[in-house]
Amino acid sequence: MSNEQSVPVVQIVNEAGRRRTFAVISHPDAGKSTTTEALALHARAITSAGAVHGQGARKGVTSDWMELERERGISVTSAALQFGYRGHVMNLVDTPGHADFSEDTYRVLAAVDCAIMLVDAAKGLEEQTRKLFAVCRHRGVPVITFINKWDRRGREALTLLEDIETHLGITPVPVVWPVGGAGDLRGLVQASDTEQMLRYTKVPGGTHAALEEVLTAEEATEREGEAWETALEELELALSSGPGYDQEAFEAGKISPVFFGSALSNIGVKLLLDAVVDLAPSPAARPLAKGGSREVTEEFSGLVFKIQANMDPAHRDRMAFVRVCSGVFERGMNVTRAASGRSFATKYAQTVFGAERTVVDTAYPGDVVGLINASALRVGDTLYTGKKAEFPALPAFAPEYFAVARPKDISRSKQFRKGVSQLDEEGVVQVLVSDRRGDQAPVMAAVGPMQFDVVLHRMEHEFSSPITLDRLSYKLARVTDPEGAAELAKARLTDAEVLVRRSDNALLALFADKWHLSAFQRAKPDILLQPLIATAD
């Protein structure tokens, strides 16, 4: 097939080179929304704080699906925000904050080239931060650390760094150091230039850019005295105990450049954004499932990393978020879905900005486009034109919670089946089936129990088929094969069962706990019982 791209290769190289596609990961409340808004403010992508998914936007969002998020105070939808900065195109992809949705986060992280890990200065490394970090590590996504809320009382900077090193096993390398302890933020000093201090004056009223003054070292000593001296000493100490910044080590996930600041006062956020431009890698060749890789200059290819239903309740549509991996995406082009070989028309392509959508005409590697009416698409799909491309499947996480779903009203079995099937395709839960259990009683498998709340809510409100979910006592899943399934059936264990995962026909053997599993393994050492990816670190 000929190379049909209307855009010259050199332009694709340039466009890809100026893209930075990244996500912010954090424990809820560490300041992800505030940071997102502050980052976008520097690029003037939004006119007032709250337009992304803060309170301002929440008022305008009407989806009943989002209502659940609002009740819970969590964000489980994914949207991508695009803005220009220093001649670059920044694609900020939203991640769900709650660890129960870390399977979603994993998929989002398949679509980015870098992550910013937010740490609350007072709380240090929190549980979800650790889990999300583990996901980054697993995916090989380089991580920039931002220690937020330095305007409030918190821990010692050096202690926070030590924690990162000890608990995450990554070497923190300070790029920016705070002048003044947590709660007494006077300004920042950059490791690359200790001859000057960036002094900030807070502007009241939230995420507005703080006023910045540049002081020479002498002026800093004169005006900030001990705070300045201490900052220099601590910075030197932190740098002398580590290897220093190294781009290769950062991209390999061995070190994490560290920044300090306050998203709310908009201090240090610009330096963070600069770091994304200067340090984060631009889109690069992506490995293919069957070996080799797709260069960014080859014809279009993209990865479906998120399916979102009901973003607009008036239309009840389904949107697939696609990360462009190579070539140029042009609205209206026909692409091929690798899994089925079928053609998919992209007449309705959009970018999604918070709750707003705009039509997208052209997109380059690193960009995210939303395809509406994407009922034929599944999470993990590869789309392409020209030479076939298929990216490795997004691995499913190890489910730890299992429940049988049954329609409350059996006369609504059609709606029930449709709902179950759609939730499965979106990857909201893993749906497991077996002949024994039948169509009307599939097993829902989840990484976190909150996924069940989403299932209950959506089955009732969206598919008009309220369900019951009866929890099963299994805790562990292992991938097995037909032989393993037969052996397990023969063993007639009361606390084990083999089910088929609908999305990929994998055979999952479920066990009540690790003792039952190891007892079976001891009895049948040759049986395939392969672990899935765990979310816990």
Annotated binding site: 94-98
Q: Which amino acid is at 176?
A: V
Alpha-carbon distance of 210 to 264, in angstroms, equals 10
**Site for ligand G4P, residues 458 to 497, rule: CB under 6 A:** none
Please, what is the minimum distance in Å from the beta carbon of residue 351 to ligand G4P? Answer: 21
Of 57, 263, 272, 328, which one interacts with ligand G4P (CB under 6 A)?
Answer: 263
**Is residue 264 a contact point for ligand G4P (CB under 6 A)?**
yes
Q: What is the DSSP string of 342-377?
A: -EEE-SSEEEEETTEEEE--EE-TT-EEEEES-TT-
Q: Based on CB atoms, which residue is closest to ligand G4P, 268 or 427?
A: 268
User: Residue 51 or 389: which CB sits closer to ligand G4P?
Assistant: 51
> What residue numbers does the annotated binding site for GTP cover?
94-98
The reply on whether position 270 binds ligand G4P by CB under 6 A is: no
∠ Cα 307 310 311 (to 5°): 80
Stretch that binds ligand G4P, among 212-220, 256-264, 412-420, 435-443 (CB under 6 A): 256-264
Q: Which is nearer to ligand G4P, 33 or 535 (CB)?
A: 33
Work out how close the CB of 73 gets to ligand G4P at its nearest, in angstroms, rounded to a whole number: 8
Q: Is 328 helix (H, G, I), strand (E, B) or coil?
A: coil
Q: Which two tokens stand for residue 529?
A: 């019982």
CA of 82: how far to CAs of 75, 251, 366, in Å? 19, 23, 11
Q: Is 32 or 186 the residue whose CB approaches ligand G4P more closely?
A: 32
Instruction: Read off φ and ψ for residue 143, nearest 5 degrees.
Output: -120, 130
Among 12, 21, 31, 157, binds ligand G4P (CB under 6 A): 31
CA distance 9 to 2: 14
Check binding of 34 to ligand G4P (CB under 6 A): yes
CB of 122 to ligand G4P, least distance (A): 9
Query: Kind and range of the H or E element at 158?
Result: helix 157-163
Nearer to ligand G4P, 202 or 502 (CB): 202
Selected from 102, 256, 262, 336, the binder of ligand G4P by CB under 6 A is 262
> Can you tell me the distance from the alpha carbon of 405 to that of 392, in angstroms, rounded to the nearest whole number?
30
Angle at 15 between CA 10 and CA 17, to 5 degrees: 95
Q: How far apart are CA 94 and CA 101, in angstroms?
A: 13
- Is 283 in a helix, a strand, or coil? coil
Q: Kindly give the interhelix angle for 514-523 and 482-491, rounded to the nearest 10 degrees.
A: 100
User: With CB under 6 A, what is the number of residues at the site for ligand G4P?
Assistant: 16
Cβ 261 to ligand G4P, closest distance in Å? 7
Residue 69 interacts with ligand G4P (CB under 6 A)?
Answer: no
Q: Are 226 and 234 in contact (CB under 8 A)?
A: no
Stretch that binds ligand G4P, among 23-31, 320-328, 425-433, 439-447 (CB under 6 A): 23-31
**Of the two residues 97 and 172, which places its CB atom closer to ligand G4P in the complex?**
97
Strand-pair category, 187-190 with 334-337: unpaired
Binding flags for ligand G4P, 133-172, as an x/- string (CB under 6 A):
---------------xx-xx--------------------
Confirm if 338 and 390 have CB atoms less than 8 A apart: yes
Q: How far is the CB of 364 from ligand G4P (least distance, A)?
A: 29
Site of interaction with ligand G4P (CB under 6 A): 26, 28-34, 97, 148-149, 151-152, 262-264
